Amino acid sequence: MSLVGPGGLLKQLTENVLETTLNAELTEHLEHQHGGTPAGSTMRNGTRTKTVLTEIGPGEIEVPQGS
């Protein structure tokens, strides 16, 4: 496996870190874990794909949504 490049480890790691961070932010905002009981009327509402531009090139991530 290559470290850099389109399918490289660095790209995969960057995408994973971004997705994990976004999930943690939504968990904090909604005050419940994914699959948990909502504390209020807002809850998770799936994900959407987004292209992000980084220093190592573009990447596709799944952005969680809340409603």
Residue 35 backbone dihedrals phi, psi, to 5 degrees:
90, -5
Q: Does 36 map to a domain? A: yes
The total number of structural domains in the chain stands at: 1
This prediction's pTM: 0.80
* Range(s) of the domain holding residue 22: 9-66
Q: Does 2 map to a domain? A: no
What pLDDT is recorded for position 28? 87
41 vs 54: CA distance, rounded Å: 35
What pLDDT is recorded for position 4? 79
58 vs 67: CA distance, rounded Å: 28
What pLDDT is recorded for position 8? 87
Under 8 Å between Cβ of 67 and 21: no
pLDDT tens digits for range 10-63: 999 999 999 999 999 988 888 777 777 777 777 778 899 999 998 888 999 999
Q: Does 45 map to a domain? A: yes
What pLDDT is recorded for position 50? 96
Q: Does 4 map to a domain? A: no
